[in-house]
Amino acid sequence: MSLAERKAALLAELEPFADHHERFQYIIDRAKTSPALPADLKLDIFLIEGCTSNLWLVPKVENGKCFFRCDADSLITKGIATLVCDLYNDATPEEVATTDSDFLSQVGITQHLSPNRRNGLANLVNKIRGFGRTATAS
């Protein structure tokens, strides 16, 4: 599935909710079922700066594709980070480096985040896209 198709699928998953409270509850429920990172991966080198809660991102390239695992000590942060990772997982480094995560604002998620959470989300996306740029150059 291309990134454009994955983005469309995530939009379709999030759009049916009548208001942002229902959408955030869905994101929290999704976070509860998302696998946790093992403690040995919750290292400072994987910590995303600027977020209200601790957020870890573990990137890797395998067979020419990027994969991202995340975890957070807040369910809302983990849920949003999981959505972002789901968008970029299994994409080429070039796709990761050049694709924005604007689908979150299209469904009204970004607009309802605190400034600290928006900052953490921006830092997460920048870290993911930066990883794609680095992997492209390798």
| CATH code for position 116 | 3.90.1010.10
From CA 25, how far away is CA 73, in angstroms rounded? Answer: 16
pLDDT tens digit sequence for 73-130: 999 999 999 999 999 999 999 999 999 888 889 888 999 998 888 999 999 999 999 9
- 42 contact partners, CB below 8 Å, separation of at least 6: 54, 56, 71
pLDDT tens digit sequence for 13-31: 999 988 889 999 999 999 9
Structure pTM? Answer: 0.93
Q: Which domain holds residue 110?
A: 3-137
Q: What is the pLDDT of residue 51?
A: 77
Domain count, the chain: 1
How many helices (H) and strands (E) would you count in the chain? 6, 2
Indicate if the pLDDT at residue 55 is higher than 90: yes
